[in-house]
Amino acid sequence: MAVTKSSPVPDMVVLSGELWQGFLELVTGQYRVIGPVRRGSEHVFAPIKNPREIDMAYVTTILPPKKVFHQPFQVLFSFDTEEGTLAEAQSGEEKVVWGIHPCDMHAIAILDKVYGVEYPDPYYLRNRENTIIVAKNCTEVGENCFCLSMGTGPALRSGCDLLLTDLGGRYLVEVGTEKGRKLLSGLELVPAPRVVLVEKEKRLSQARQKFKKRMVTQGIQELLEENFRHPIWEELMRECLACGSCTMVCPTCFCYNVVDKIDLDLKTGRRQREWDSCMLLEYAQVALGQNFRRDRDARIKQRMYHKLLYYEPQFGTLGCVGCGRCIGACVKRIDITDVVSRLAESVESDR
Amino acid sequence: MINPFKPEIAVITEVVKETSDTTTYTFRFKEEETRETWGFEAGQFNMITVFGIGEAPISISSGPSDTGFFQHTVRHVGNVTNALAKKKPGDVVGIRGAYGTGWPLHHLYGRNLLIVAGGIGLAPLRPVIREVMGQRDRFKEVEVLYGARTPGDMLFVREFPEWSEYVKLRLAVDMVPSGVKWDHKVGVVTTLFSEMSSQPSNTVVLTCGPEIMMKFVVRGLLHMGFSPDRIYVSMERRMHCGVGKCGRCQIGPRFTCKDGPVFAYEELAALPEEVLGGVGR
């Protein structure tokens, strides 16, 4: 058996120029990589064939990388209408998701709680296990970003396999797990001096100065509990189109619908789950047409109260990570940070 | 890893028509191992699959002590339940469960019990009645108030004579079609409150029915002095998983599928979202 000799991979390296390119080529050559690529004026997480497609300077993506783990369409199993269920084939392919930002990493940590507890979800967990996550700290801030207010960015503390920080033309690469270290093996690397962390912190602290948007989080739970009948909800009801875009782009939304897809033989088919939205009329509708959230304001409140009030008792965390996607996706420019600020202001002026 | 979304196969062994739109099905798991290990609590539900149509949450209507089989009493009002209406003995369905909270039977021993049910809402309470019949000494006074639209819409009528040997059964219907004989009350189920013998002291209330009915039941009983901490309600919400993942059944921070469907009334009264028409506010 051939033995390839390689030097041990250090915990922290700085890569630039050819070495950085070599790293990208190594990873994209060995794994199925999903990373940020430009599509028109926006970015999406898409399969990478050529490392040049990766746009490391992306600020946000249309859909969060959640789609890799909690997929928009997921076949649960195939069935035969007469015999019953058939076993579902398991996909075992290991992949790398490249360049996930800290807000989206925190969202994945929340989904881990949703899908990992009580009745663990095998589909989600399989996707998690098969994936190596390369995260990237944010040194640039988008116009709708407010992760700083939520304590979910711009720097990531833990949870990824490798962590990248742009130091301006060169990248600090920190090893989070042995799965991550594996990606670097094969390269001739020297450990980075610890002083490079000073440069990293400088970049991150510069990023913290760039936030324009913030969320009032202090006393937010009390604020919401006491204002369930505030006139602002009626105002929003007139604004909101209930299109569900905010929930489709949300990295922590986990709701889904389940449908049976039947084949043309009317005998075999698949049960499939699909992302769903609490903003849509049918979401809470039951047989005979009864709908527990028929009014649009009830649905708007459900989304915002769930994110900012109900996740806490459910999963021990706020349900918003400050990615700002819902603000950007809303055609009526409904802004969750603005709604909370206005609530807080109106309560303040009533005092 | 156990896949909580893959149903077990069950065979329909008996089909009994209850009313024009409601049927009671008796099921038996295909796998012997499942038959021997599977159990449930009174008040829990199963996700029933009609392959190719979909899955729906349905309460279990047999008693937890009835072994070797289980029953569901199904009103044919949606896609899955209408597809179920075409099934005959020998046909198979998928079953996942049992899910959710049951009625707090341990909390009922040594107490009086008042059951108030409307329409199909009697189905998840039948397991409690069967438990009472099986171990009558553990409960004090037991009274069942049951309301339906018409006499022909009443479920389990063939069992009423036997039930009456164990519990006080009082019936009401909203209306009586001409030519139908009816010796009981006409009116909504709460009109039975004036003639019932249940008193607030040491009595636990279990109720299931349309939410509007439960609203007036709870409101009326609170007014009569029944203790809010001894009232339990069984809620209906849309469900697609039964295990707290799909999110559809949420009421405030609670998942009806796993924190319910049986809730202590006070737990719901504390939520910001209006439940039971905001009764108690």
Query: Which has the minimum average pLDDT: A51-65, A337-351, B148-162?
Result: A337-351
Query: Which DSSP category does A7 fall into?
Result: P
Asked if A272 contacts A75 with a C-beta cutoff of 8 angstroms, the reply is yes
ipTM of this predicted structure: 0.92
3-state secondary structure of B185: strand
Percent composition of chain A: helix, strand, coil (DSSP 3-state, to 5): 40, 20, 40
Please indicate whether, in this complex, the C-beta atoms of B252 and A305 are within 8 angstroms of each other.
yes
For residue B68, what is the DSSP state?
A: S
Residue A197 scores a pLDDT above 70:
yes
Mutate to test the interface with A, among B2, B5, B11 (most CBs of A within 10 A): B5
Which of chain A's residues have a Cβ under 8 Å away from the Cβ of B30?
Answer: 84
**B135 class by beta-carbon count within 10 Å (0-12 exposed, 13-18 middle, 19+ buried):** exposed
Question: Who's near A199: CB < 8 A, 6+ residues apart?
Answer: A167, A172
In the prediction, which pLDDT does B2 show? Answer: 84
Q: Are residues A254 and B30, on separate chains, in Cβ contact within 8 Å? A: no
- Is the distance from CB of B163 to CB of B144 less than 8 angstroms? yes
Task: Answer whether A119 sits within 8 Å of B248, measured CB to CB.
Answer: no
- Among the partner residues A266, A286, A312, nearest to B238 by beta-carbon distance: A286
Round to whole Å and give the CA distance between A4 and A165: 30
Which among A258, A284, A290 is the nearest to B246, CB-wise?
Answer: A258
Predicted confidence at residue A7, as pLDDT, reads: 66
Chain-chain contact of A224 with B94 (C-beta, under 8 angstroms): no
A302, B273: Cβ pair inside 8 Å? yes
Count H helices, E strands: chain A?
14, 11
pLDDT of the residue at B220? 96
Q: How confident is the model at residue B281 (pLDDT cuts 50, 70, 90)?
A: very low
CA end-to-end span of chain B? 45
Q: In Å, how far is B132's CA from the nearest CA of chain A?
A: 31
Please state the rounded mean pLDDT for residues A39-44.
96
pLDDT at A105 over 90: yes
Residue-wise pLDDT for B2-33, tens only, equals 899 999 999 999 999 999 999 999 999 999 99
Q: How confident is the model at residue A3 (pLDDT cuts 50, 70, 90)?
A: very low
Give the phi and the psi of residue B174 in degrees, each rounded to 5: -65, -40
Report in angstroms the alpha-carbon separations of A221 from A228, A237, A296, B71, B259.
11, 21, 22, 43, 21
Count of H-run helices and E-run strands, chain B: 7, 15
Provide the percentage of residues in chain B whose pLDDT is more than 70.
98
Question: In this complex, is the C-beta atom of B55 within 8 Å of any C-beta atom belonging to chain A?
Answer: yes
- If you ran DSSP here, which 8-state letter would residue B175 be given? -
A-to-B residue pairs, Cβ atoms closer than 8 angstroms: 124
Picking from A76, A81, A254, the nearest residue to B5 by CB comes out as A76
Contact B77 A287 (CB under 8 A): yes
Contacts of A292 in chain B (CB under 8 A): 237-238, 251
pLDDT at A61 over 80: yes
Record: contact A84-B258, CB cut-off 8 A: no
Which chain B residue is nearest to residue A118, measuring alpha carbons? B243
Q: Phi and psi for B22 in degrees, rounded to 5?
A: -135, 140
Q: How far apart are CA A118 and CA A126, in angstroms?
A: 16
Backbone angles phi, psi at A107, to 5 degrees: -65, -40
Mean pLDDT to the nearest integer, A253-258: 97
pLDDT, mean over chain B: 95
Whole-structure pTM value: 0.94
Q: What is the pLDDT of residue A1?
A: 44
pLDDT in tens, A141-174: 999 999 999 999 999 999 999 999 999 989 999 9
Single out the residue of A57, A152, A138, A55 nearest to residue A103, CA to CA.
Answer: A152
Instruction: Yes or no: say if A69 and A111 are a contact pair by the CB < 8 Å rule.
Output: yes
Detail the DSSP E strand segments found in chain A.
Answer: 12-16, 32-39, 42-48, 73-80, 84-86, 95-100, 131-136, 162-166, 170-175, 256-262, 268-275
Mean pLDDT of A9-20: 94
The confidence score (pLDDT) of residue B277 equals: 63
Looking at the predicted structure, is the pLDDT value of residue A266 above 50? yes
Q: Is residue A110 packed enough to be buried (19+ CB in 10 Å), middle (13-18) or exposed (0-12)?
A: buried
Please name each of the domains of chain B with its CATH number.
8-99 (2.40.30.10), 105-279 (3.40.50.80)
Average pLDDT for residues A54-82, to the nearest whole number?
Answer: 94
Pairing of strands A42-48, A95-100: unpaired
pLDDT tens digit sequence for B218-272:
999 999 999 999 999 999 999 999 999 999 999 999 999 999 999 999 999 888 7
The packing angle between helices A296-305 and A232-239, to 10°, is 110
What pLDDT score was predicted for residue A289? 85
Given CB atoms, is B134 within the 8 Å cutoff of chain A?
Answer: no
Instruction: Report the pLDDT value the prediction gives residue A89, as an integer from 0 to 100.
Output: 64
DSSP label of A217? -
Average pLDDT over residues A90-102: 89
Q: What is the pLDDT of residue A347?
A: 84
What is residue B265's three-state secondary structure? helix
Q: Tell me the DSSP string of A83-120.
A: TEEEPPPPP---EEEEEE-HHHHHHHHHHHHHHHSSS-
Q: Which pLDDT belongs to residue B280?
A: 43
Q: Do B244 and A119 touch (CB under 8 A)?
A: yes
Q: Please judge whether A266 and B4 are an interchain contact, meaning their C-beta atoms are less than 8 angstroms apart.
A: no
Give the mean model confidence (pLDDT) for residues A309-332.
97
The pLDDT, as a whole number, for residue A6 is 57
